[in-house]
Structure 1
Amino acid sequence: MTQSEISPSLISEELLATYESVIGLEVHCQLLTESKLFASDRNLFGTEPNTNIGPITLALPGTLPKVNKKAVEYAIRMGLACDCSISSRTIFDRKNYFYPDLPKGYQISQDKKPICENGGVTIAIKGADGKMIEKRIRFHHIHLEEDAGKSVHDGSESNTLLDYNRAGTPLVEMVSEPDLRSAEETGAFVTEVRRLVRYLGISDGNMEEGSLRCDVNVSVRKKGDNKLGVKVEVKNMNSIRNMMRAITFETSRQIGLLESGGEIHQETRMFDVESGNTYGMRMKETMNDYRYFPDPDLSPVVISEEWLESIRATMPSLPKELREKFTTVYGIPAYDALVLTDTKEIADYFEAVCSKTNLYKQASNWLMGPVKSYLNENEGDISLFPVKPESLAALIELSESGVVSNSVASQKILPVMLAEPDRSPVEIAETNNWLQNSNTNELETLVNEVLESMPDKVDAYRKGKKGLLGLFVGEIMKKSNGTADPKLVNQLLAKKLQ
């Protein structure tokens, strides 16, 4: 600890409650273009070191950059999705600093005239009463820039290896306003940003691979105080969970420092995953340290209204639009809509099912129940789910019409469909004699057999233990191999047990 700092673990909940966190983010998102931002070298993750490089990436003398039009389009798509103002004329700047993994000795970025300004993202978090509360998190701007290479430490104290494959990869950097007030809000914000870039198809958003990374700016102040505190930047957070852990620790650390009479310095810190602590890396650079100036090798990019409208016309439906559609058109609860729009693939699958049946709520239940269970067990996404939407819709119709029971549909027919996707649910049910039995005479015989085999339970039921009804129903369902009509069984039992 420094400056007689109070350990974060000793900060009481009561003291924490007198402060509030003020959090802003810089989210770096690698774009899924085929080539790099200013060169034709491949933009591909996971290849052998230094194989996706060329003269421009390595900044060999005499080489000149050329802007990747697709990367500009992807940045515009993100800006449109976030209701940003799109600049009609944008320029690139040189951001000057030296690291071994930065071949040119500067980074091509954007400073005074970013491609997107303002806008924001709406998040939803649970309030104290358990209800979802929406909050708008504003962006200051979104700009384009190139990524740096990667330093690889070989375990020795003296050697650092350099992999330039990542150098020049196109990034959008999304800079938020300091609107976030907790680790939970920040987690929800990054989750929504990741969801957006995946819906737009501009990035895979895989934080574990580094294609989505966050720098988190954290400061604290007493509640009711409008003055911003000194911010500390925690660099390169590559998981939402660890980012939230870092914010929780850093908030407590800063409060402990202030309460013990210490001073918070504007610095860059790193997060240690093992200990859950942040630690100092360097004093924070200011904008002047980077000596920004327009890149003389790159012409301004002019975004015409025609180009902007052509991009706007190709925009997909976004999560918020789909949530509204699912609750209004399909009439499912807001919670269901939130779950079903978690990924574009799930949302598309749900809509495909709904195009084949009007049992929308039942379709939602199946996707959030049996289908989700299958995906969790197999660690897959909906694209790997073997059952086609029209087949699942047919199974739902079969179950809801009473031709088969819900338990037979989910526990017997669905597993067969997963193994043999080309077979129809009706054919599977007929082949295995799983069609629901609504024959009153046959079911009455089963009811009599069960009640006669359990006279003590029948007596207890008649003396007031009404919960035994479920036992009787369960035994009858077993005897019928799950094919008995539950409604008719309940009616027959009620009559026999009077």
Structure 2
Amino acid sequence: MTAALPLSPNDQIESHQERFGEPDGSRPTGGSTQYEAVIGLEVHCQLLTNSKIFAADANAFGAEPNTNISVITLAHPGTLPKLNRKAVEYAVRMGLACNSTITRHNIFARKNYFYPDLPKGYQLSQDKGPVCVGGGVPVTAKDPETGQPYQTTIQLHHIHLEEDAGKSIHDGSDWTTQLDYNRAGTPLIEMVTEPCLRTADEAGQYLTEVRRLVRYLDICDGNMEEGSLRCDVNVSIRPKGATHLGTKVEVKNLNSIRNVMRAVDSEFKRQVELTESGGRIVQETRTFDAATGRSQSMREKETMNDYRYFPDPDLTPVIISDAWLAAIKAEMPMLPAERYQKFIQVYGLPEYDAAFLTDAKELAEYYESVCEETTNYKAVSNWIMGPVKGQLNEKTLRDRQFPVPAAQLAALITLIDAGTISQTAAQQVFALLVDAPTTSPIDLATTHGLIQNRNTDALQTLVEDVLATWPDKVELYRKGKKNLLGMFVGEVMKKSKGSADPKLVNQLVLKQLEAK
């Protein structure tokens, strides 16, 4: 995996404005083809720890408002935070997956701003020393003009740890706001890219890959609709060929990958039109309206000085020792790219199958579990990509609620390979297994009369009956209309009520037709 040249953990991390561009007063003119977008993404991932990052309160989505709170979450005077060790480990996992440099000496700072959903009046975050520095996420995107795929690596500036704020609930009222502090203190990692993206598709593919990585690592469920994975988009424009950065605009309120892509395209178009009409782009934060596909101004963008960062005096530095880092590395799972290569090289799957099966960790693990019981690896892939996937939805997949246990699916494939049941009958057995997953496939096939009939004498009688019923077709076949073979086989299968072995029927029909 290609990685960015990492900064030393002791180097200062420059501000968002330095990374994504300060207002420079330039107003290039001309058609939109003269401009290119410069895009940076800030992705927040809620970590799947049992408790919050600095308190023992439960970290759980969907609880009744203001039930997962304590005096620490509510910032009562005299309360002291204590760092959640697991949150640090999860952040390091992501850094290792992205080939980042892991910062060994970590401190937290107070990011001062006042919103009602932030009880302390400041957010505990990492300012100058993020836990992971540099690295990158390889993606495959499509050229917007040619439609051709290309590979690129979205370079990371850093990944840092911080706490989430609470949730403000307006319920359509212009006068009242309700506050739910359950989310306050939830551990987050924020992944900040370099301003290296150029298209909406790159942004979409990057988010897709980040979501896949956090799910493979079991550090975040990646559910954008519930807010456990959130993305802010920074967009500026500049004339094609220019190297300076233009005025950055941040777009928030993006709850899906599709909306991230729409927001990039919409903001690029807005900035180009504004520039060409003689207007001036203002550095600001905007919110995206998914219904209209447009953004609206929220506020002028804060500068780093506005936050008055300073080291938090209540938290001691966190040292990631060689032994601790080695232990985290030892627990790293096989990542999607490695698993993709394994499925091609070990199981002999086509690239399409390997990509499909490794898209979700749960599918990949299920595939390998079935392959422990059978060596017909391609058949396993076909069944998972077809009937199994058809029975799954997002919830059952994430909860690993597969419709048929791995051993049962392997047993079903073995019955097909042995000629005990036909492919058609196997589909019926699979449907029965969905409702009775603990029953063996052979028992279901026997009970429902789906065992293939391989009695040559009985099948020969059926073949002779069919050919006797269609003497004119038999004559046409013998005169050269060989495509009638399928019709004869089909008629025999009907008479056997689907229980006959199709291969054996085919052989018997051919032998009878060729007899003089």
TM-score normalised by length of structure 2? 0.86
Residue 409 (str. 1) matches residue 426 (str. 2): yes
Of the structure 1 ranges 57-66 and 83-92, higher mean CA displacement relative to structure 2 is found in: 57-66
Could you tell me which residue of structure 2 aligns to residue 367 of structure 1?
384
Give the conservation status (yes or no) of the 8 Å contact 2:388–2:403: no
Superposition pairs of residues 107-186 of structure 1, within 5 angstroms: 107-125=123-141, 133-186=150-203
Cα 1:317–1:284, aligned 2, differ >3 Å: closer, same or farther?
Answer: same
Give the conservation status (yes or no) of the 8 Å contact 2:362–2:397: no
Cα 1:89–1:494, aligned 2, differ >3 Å: closer, same or farther?
Answer: same
Of the structure 1 ranges 379-388 and 175-184, higher mean CA displacement relative to structure 2 is found in: 379-388
Shift of 1:432: 3.2
The CA distance in 2 between the partners of 1:217 and 1:232, in whole Å, is: 5
Cα 1:494–1:149, aligned 2, differ >3 Å: closer, same or farther?
Answer: same
Unaligned runs of 5+ in 1: 1-14
Q: CA-to-partner distance for each residue in 1:245-267, whole Å, 9 max, x for gaps?
A: 22222222223223333332222
Residue 335 (str. 1) matches residue 349 (str. 2): no
Cα 1:28–1:86, aligned 2, differ >3 Å: closer, same or farther?
Answer: same
Could you tell me which residue of structure 1 aligns to residue 337 of structure 2?
320
The amino acid across from 2:214 in the alignment is: V
The CA distance in 1 between the partners of 2:147 and 2:372, in whole Å, is: 33
Residue 89 (str. 1) matches residue 105 (str. 2): yes
Residue 311 (str. 1) matches residue 328 (str. 2): yes
The CA distance in 2 between the partners of 1:118 and 1:277, in whole Å, is: 33
Superposition pairs of residues 336-415 of structure 1, within 5 angstroms: 336-376=353-393, 383-410=400-427, 412-415=428-431
Cα 1:132–1:329, aligned 2, differ >3 Å: closer, same or farther?
Answer: farther
Shift of 1:437: 2.9
Give the conservation status (yes or no) of the 8 Å contact 1:375–1:382: no
Cα 1:300–1:281, aligned 2, differ >3 Å: closer, same or farther?
Answer: same
Shift of 1:85: 0.6
Could you tell me which residue of structure 2 aligns to residue 61 of structure 1?
77
Cα 1:40–1:395, aligned 2, differ >3 Å: closer, same or farther?
Answer: same
The CA distance in 1 between the partners of 2:467 and 2:283, in whole Å, is: 77
Shift of 1:448: 4.4
The amino acid across from 1:212 in the alignment is: L
Could you tell me which residue of structure 1 aligns to residue 61 of structure 2?
45
The amino acid across from 2:389 in the alignment is: K
Give the conservation status (yes or no) of the 8 Å contact 2:396–2:402: no
Could you tell me which residue of structure 2 aligns to residue 244 of structure 1?
261
Cα 1:377–1:147, aligned 2, differ >3 Å: closer, same or farther?
Answer: closer
Cα 1:179–1:497, aligned 2, differ >3 Å: closer, same or farther?
Answer: farther
Aligned pairs, number: 483
The CA distance in 2 between the partners of 1:299 and 1:287, in whole Å, is: 23
Cα 1:487–1:252, aligned 2, differ >3 Å: closer, same or farther?
Answer: farther
Residue 31 (str. 1) matches residue 84 (str. 2): no
Q: CA-to-partner distance for each residue in 1:393-428, whole Å, 9 max, x for gaps?
A: 111111123221111112x11122222222222232
TM-score normalised by length of structure 1? 0.89
Give the conservation status (yes or no) of the 8 Å contact 1:340–1:347: yes
Superposition pairs of residues 460-475 of structure 1, within 5 angstroms: 469-475=485-491
Shift of 1:66: 1.7
Shift of 1:365: 0.6
Shift of 1:468: 5.5
Find the residue that maps to 1:174 and give its secondary structure: strand
Could you tell me which residue of structure 2 aligns to residue 269 of structure 1?
286
Of residues 211, 217, 223, the one that matches 1:206 is: 223
Of residues 188, 193, 197, the one that matches 2:210 is: 193
Cα 1:457–1:427, aligned 2, differ >3 Å: closer, same or farther?
Answer: same
Superposition pairs of residues 379-458 of structure 1, within 5 angstroms: 383-410=400-427, 412-451=428-467, 453=469
Identity %: 63
Unaligned runs of 5+ in 2: 1-30
The amino acid across from 1:83 in the alignment is: N
Find the residue that maps to 1:237 and give its secondary structure: coil
Shift of 1:455: 6.4
The CA distance in 2 between the partners of 1:236 and 1:396, in whole Å, is: 47
| C-alpha RMSD of matched pairs (Å) | 2.6
Cα 1:340–1:165, aligned 2, differ >3 Å: closer, same or farther?
Answer: same
Find the residue that maps to 2:225 and give its secondary structure: helix
Could you tell me which residue of structure 2 aligns to residue 78 of structure 1?
94
Find the residue that maps to 2:498 and give its secondary structure: coil
Q: CA-to-partner distance for each residue in 1:129-152, whole Å, 9 max, x for gaps?
A: 988643221111000001111111
Q: CA-to-partner distance for each residue in 1:164-209, whole Å, 9 max, x for gaps?
A: 1111111110111223232222222112111211221212221111
The CA distance in 2 between the partners of 1:457 and 1:271, in whole Å, is: 68
Shift of 1:450: 4.0
Of the structure 1 ranges 255-264 and 152-161, higher mean CA displacement relative to structure 2 is found in: 255-264
Give the conservation status (yes or no) of the 8 Å contact 1:375–1:381: no
Find the residue that maps to 1:416 and give its secondary structure: helix
Q: CA-to-partner distance for each residue in 1:362-404, whole Å, 9 max, x for gaps?
A: 1011100111111149965572224221111111111123221
Q: CA-to-partner distance for each residue in 1:215-239, whole Å, 9 max, x for gaps?
A: 0112234444433332221113121
Cα 1:398–1:138, aligned 2, differ >3 Å: closer, same or farther?
Answer: same
Of residues 479, 483, 486, the one that matches 2:502 is: 486
Cα 1:378–1:462, aligned 2, differ >3 Å: closer, same or farther?
Answer: farther
